[in-house]
Copies of this chain bind each other. A is one copy, B any other.
């Protein structure tokens, strides 16, 4: 009984699996839009059906928001229990006209599958589920006990899963958590993330006159809310890219010199990274390197902005209001709640006379950091080495996975973040894709992972050592 037979089985069934994945990707499970509520349920139902035909028990768990999918297989008595996490919700596909093929009509081009969610996170989640199914088909068992927990609110920072983890910690008790929801640092280079940035998002409305006004009759008389909003946004950073919010950097520590030094040896080409997006590294704090700014430093972005007339041609209007969505990425020592308070105070104090400010939180996530020597992480390193024929590298993560700190704190289990997306895969952007090679090897890595996690070295008692911790924990 070993993973080799499982990977052969996965290869033999690859074409069929690919068709299944495309079916999953064609469900427009956009968690941000209420109009997709029905699609969210369809996606959750689809997963329950997949889990059941793979041989796991599975059910829908209702929450206040989009439902969870909970699966389990507990036939490996005495072996460790591993929780596999993923999410079935996807980012909104806008702007639609920039997609070469429609976001919810999965299309194969150049050995890639193009679709919203192809890599984030449906494709990566699907690879793990197929590997579990293959173990059960080939060997009638998995080397470890498995809990599968899949949420539908990752992209909107929903709180349903966190509440469920807290409430059902006993049912979810495990020795390790496995998550694949990220890209490798370079094609084919296994990559394990040991930190994630947190997130504090807000929507700001600058509200002026009762209604839109004529810009000739009122221009120069009434304060323009769009101008006011621009002043507020522009004032959030200084010329060196440093965020000017009072106390924003309170407690933020420089990373150890050794870790900053280690960044220089990550197999990462700044030029290739930037060429792919056709932009220079001119964002953020000038005094830090690109990878430092991406992984070790907080950042500020406008993710959306709207005011007045945005159609073709001119319109002589002084808009009644203006809106901006702001996103702050956070690092250890920063708490989203604390930062949100400081943002709100700063924004309100920056509003010119005649402008009212409405601040609406848009979801948050705590930052996270872990060591790289837990036995779970070592098992993952071996599994990915087998599948990709290459030793993994350890990196930081620029994005946020809100549930990671919850798993870490509530379940007390080490979290393994080992994604197999590709650089430039357009997660959150038009033309998202996943490499077919990575998808296939990701299935192999997963097949090996269940075996490696069960290996004697990875005995439960040992799995717990070096567990992750929420960055905020004292």
Which of A's residues lie within 8 Å of B, judged by CB? Answer: 31-34, 91-92, 94-95, 98, 155-157, 183, 197, 199, 201, 203, 208-224, 226-227, 229-231, 233-237, 241, 274, 276-285, 290, 293-294, 297-319, 322-325, 327, 329, 352-355, 362-363, 397-400, 426-431
Find the B residue at minimum CB distance from A352.
Answer: B282
What residues of chain B lie closer than 8 Å to A317, measured between beta carbons? 91, 303-304, 428-429
A376 to chain B, nearest CB (A): 23
Q: Which of B183, B277, B312, B318 contacts A301 (CB 8 A)?
A: B318
Q: Is the CB of A293 within 8 A of B220?
A: yes
Q: How many angstroms between the C-alpha atoms of A233 and B206 in the bound complex?
A: 15
For A157, give its contact among B208, B234, B314 (CB under 8 Å).
B314
17 residue pairs from A and B, CB less than 8 Å apart: A32-B312, A33-B313, A92-B311, A201-B314, A212-B429, A213-B428, A214-B427, A215-B303, A216-B399, A216-B400, A220-B294, A221-B290, A222-B282, A223-B280, A304-B308, A310-B325, A316-B400
Q: How far is the CA of A302 from the CA of B429 in the complex (A)?
A: 27
Give A217 to B284 CA distance when docked, in angstroms.
12
A283 to B324, CA, bound (A): 21
- Asked if A303 and B282 make an inter-chain contact with CB atoms under 8 angstroms apart, the answer reads no
Q: Are A220 and B298 in contact (CB under 8 A)?
A: yes
Residue of B at shortest CB range from A224? B301
Q: Do the beta carbons of B211 and A301 come within 8 Å of each other?
A: no
Whether A303 contacts B308 in the complex (CB less than 8 A), given A211-B426, A234-B234, A316-B428, comes out as yes
Q: Is the CB of A211 within 8 A of B277?
A: yes
* Contact indicator A313/B362 (Cβ below 8 Å): yes
For A210, the closest partner residue in chain B by CB is B278
Which residues of chain B are within 8 angstroms of A216 by Cβ–Cβ distance? 197, 199, 329, 397-400
Q: Given A197-B216, A213-B429, A329-B216, are A303 and B319 also a contact pair (CB < 8 Å)?
A: yes
**Contacting residue for A230 out of B33, B229, B398, CB 8 A:** B229
B294 touches A304 (CB 8 A): no
Q: Is A222 a contact of B283 with CB atoms below 8 Å?
A: yes
**Bound CA–CA A277/B282 (angstroms):** 41
Q: Within the complex, what minimum Cβ distance (angstroms) separates A152 from chain B?
A: 13
Asked, given contacts A279-B210, A400-B216, A428-B315, whether A221 binds B293 with beta carbons under 8 Å apart, the answer is: yes
Contacts of A322 in B (CB 8 A): 302, 305
- Separation in Å of the A293 CB from the closest CB of chain B? 4
Cβ 8 A contact of A305, one of B300, B305, B318, B363: B305
Instruction: For A290, list chain B residues within 8 Å (CB).
Output: 221
Closest B residue to A290 using CB positions: B221
Asked if A283 and B224 sit within 8 Å, CB to CB, the answer is: yes
Q: Given the interface contacts A211-B431, A397-B216, A428-B215, does A316 sit within 8 Å of B299 by beta carbon?
A: no
Which chain B residues lie closer than 8 Å to A323 at the CB level? 310
Give, as a whole number of angstroms, the nearest-CB distance from A287 to chain B: 12
Contacts of A199 in B (CB 8 A): 216, 316
Please state if B310 and A302 are interface contacts (CB–CB under 8 Å). Answer: no
- A98, A281, A303, A428: most-surrounded residue (chain B CB, <10 A): A303
Query: Within the complex, which residue of B318, B353, B427 is in contact with A282, where a contact is CB–CB below 8 Å?
Result: B353
* CB neighbours of A223 from chain B (8 A): 279-280, 282-283
**Chain B residue at smallest Cβ distance from A236:** B227
Contact of A221 among B218, B221, B281, B309 (CB under 8 A): B281
Measured CA separation A306–B302 after assembly (Å): 11
Which residue of B has the minimal Cβ distance to A397?
B216
Q: CA of A91 to CA of B212 in the docked complex: distance in angstroms?
A: 12
Report A179 CB to chain B, min CB distance, Å: 15
Q: Are A301 and B217 in contact (CB under 8 A)?
A: no
Flag if B430 contacts A211 (CB, 8 Å). yes
Q: Are A219 and B91 in contact (CB under 8 A)?
A: no
Residues from chain B with Cβ under 8 Å of A302 in the complex: 224, 226-227, 230, 307-308, 319, 322
Partner of A315, one of B92, B212, B316, B324: B92
Q: Which residue of B lies closest to A280 (CB)?
A: B354
Within the complex, the shortest CB–CB distance from A315 to chain B, in Å, comes to: 6
